[in-house]
């Protein structure tokens, strides 16, 4: 009886969470409109919204398509994900395995950054980026986010769960600290790596606030910024906007489906008492 009630509640919550996604998909496959409508199924199935969104006339005149925004998002997402995974995991490994003065203080300072909203640090970050001449560049979009307190915490906890004897055996075989980190430790925490890849990729892909601050020309816009062009001052082209939203969402859904098993395992990896 208890399980039946629990499953019923879970199904209801799932349906409620999927309704906005269903509306977005249905609207994107229906004829373009400037009024909000809700249909479970498209009235007249069409893919025209996707082609019109990709080749939006207002952008074509400037030699830009949605493909430009897609390219910018791909580059930004890949660089942020790869570089932050490397820096966070390396910092987590050092904080988990190396003994040095102020180690715990550094760790506490790192995780304390999780409590500070980006809106608090955005002004000094912007001023630093401007000083380096990185406004409207990929460096400005990527460099401020190649490390995070959350990533350091996750990797440190995952490394702490690995027996020290494994490293000692590797050292006896002549591996250096870097070799142990790259060839032994990282492969042993694949679930955590997969989890962080999804978190980092989702954040970088969906980030709207920071690109809005550091980009000032359309050729450097990312997808979230590009979608705002479909919303006019007096009307919104819902067909184009929802088609653009689906274009943005699909890559993240595919990434999650490919890594969901590792992701679920990684959520509980490293849950050990320090």
For residue 241, the model assigns a pLDDT of: 85
- Give SS3 for 137: coil
User: Residue 229: pLDDT above 70?
Assistant: yes
According to the model, what pLDDT value does residue 139 have? 95
* C-alpha span between 146 and 200 (Å, rounded): 10
In the predicted structure, residue 128 carries a pLDDT above the cut 90: yes
Range of 74-78, 119-123, 171-175, 269-273 with top mean pLDDT: 74-78
Asked if 56 and 229 count as a contact pair (C-beta separation under 8 A), the reply is yes
Q: 18-61 pLDDT, tens per residue?
A: 888 888 888 888 887 766 777 777 778 888 888 888 887 666 66
CA distance 202 to 196: 10
Exposure string for 4-15, b = 16+ CB within 10 A, e = fewer: eeeeeeeeeeee
What angle do helix axes 66-97 and 190-206 make, rounded to 10 degrees?
Answer: 140
pTM confidence score:
0.83
> Mean pLDDT, to the nearest integer, of 238-258?
85
The pLDDT mean for the chain works out to: 86
Range name among 35-49, 97-111, 235-249 with the lowest pLDDT average = 35-49
Burial 251-268 (b: 16+ CB within 10 A, else e): beeebeeebeebbeebee
pLDDT value for 47: 85
């Amino acid at each position: 009886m208890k399980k039946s009630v629990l499953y019923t509640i879970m199904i209801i919550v799932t349906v409620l969470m999927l309704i906005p996604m269903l509306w977005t998909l249905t609207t994107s496959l229906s004829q373009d409109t400037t009024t909000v409508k809700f249909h479970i199924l498209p009235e007249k199935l069409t893919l025209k919204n996707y082609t019109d969104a990709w080749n939006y006339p207002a952008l074509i005149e400037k030699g830009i398509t949605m493909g430009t925004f897609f390219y910018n998002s791909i580059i930004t997402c890949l660089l942020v994900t790869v570089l932050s995974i490397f820096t966070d995991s390396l910092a987590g490994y050092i904080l988990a395995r190396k003994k040095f003065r102020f180690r715990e203080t550094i760790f506490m300072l790192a995780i304390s950054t999780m409590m500070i909203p980006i809106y608090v640090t955005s002004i000094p970050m912007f001023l630093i980026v401007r000083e380096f001449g990185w406004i409207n560049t990929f460096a400005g979009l990527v460099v401020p986010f190649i490390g995070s307190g959350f990533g350091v915490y996750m990797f440190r906890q995952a490394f702490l769960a690995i027996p020290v004897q494994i490293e000692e055996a590797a050292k006896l075989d002549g591996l250096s600290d870097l070799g142990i980190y790259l060839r032994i430790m990282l492969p042993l925490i694949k679930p955590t790596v997969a989890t962080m890849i999804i978190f980092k990729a989702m954040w970088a892909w969906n980030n709207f606030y920071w690109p809005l601050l550091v980009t000032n020309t359309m050729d450097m816009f990312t997808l979230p910024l590009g979608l705002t062009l479909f919303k006019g001052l007096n009307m919104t082209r819902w067909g184009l906007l929802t088609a653009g939203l689906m274009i943005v969402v699909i890559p993240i859904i595919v990434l999650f489906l490919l890594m969901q098993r590792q992701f679920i395992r990684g959520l509980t990896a490293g849950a050990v008492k320090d």
